[in-house]
Amino acid sequence: MGSTMITAIVRYRLPLTIDRNACRWHFWRIAPGFSEVPGLISKHFIWSPDGTAGGVYQWESRAFAEAFYSGPWRKGIVDRYGVEPTIEYFEVFSITDNANGVVRVPQVA
């Protein structure tokens, strides 16, 4: 798979029956499973008071991201929330990592 690091922003509308606490609980429950996803560097589980939820994903490459989003994950989103997710892809040119005190420039393909 290619070596251009990718950030993907995924969003979807939650049904009115899923409030902040229900969304948070679900995300806490499923978060550990993402440690096994090939090519995934990190994921931020996100929620907004307007009823939007999703994730900000850091991927080793777009190929890893597309493989994941075209698999069972997408069906799970549609089955659970009744909507298709919106997915935006961005190439990562540099990273300021304050937690680790480093600035990195990812290797590009």
CA distance 41 to 19: 28
H-only helix segments in the chain? 20-30, 62-69, 72-81
Tens digits of per-residue pLDDT, 24-70? 999 999 999 999 999 999 999 999 999 999 999 999 999 999 999 99
Token duo for residue 42: 């990190």
Domains annotated on the chain, with CATH: 6-104 (3.30.70.100)
pLDDT of 109 strictly over 70: no
* pTM of the predicted structure, to 2 decimals: 0.90
Angle, CA of 51, 8 and 45, to the nearest 5°: 45
CA distance 90 to 59: 10
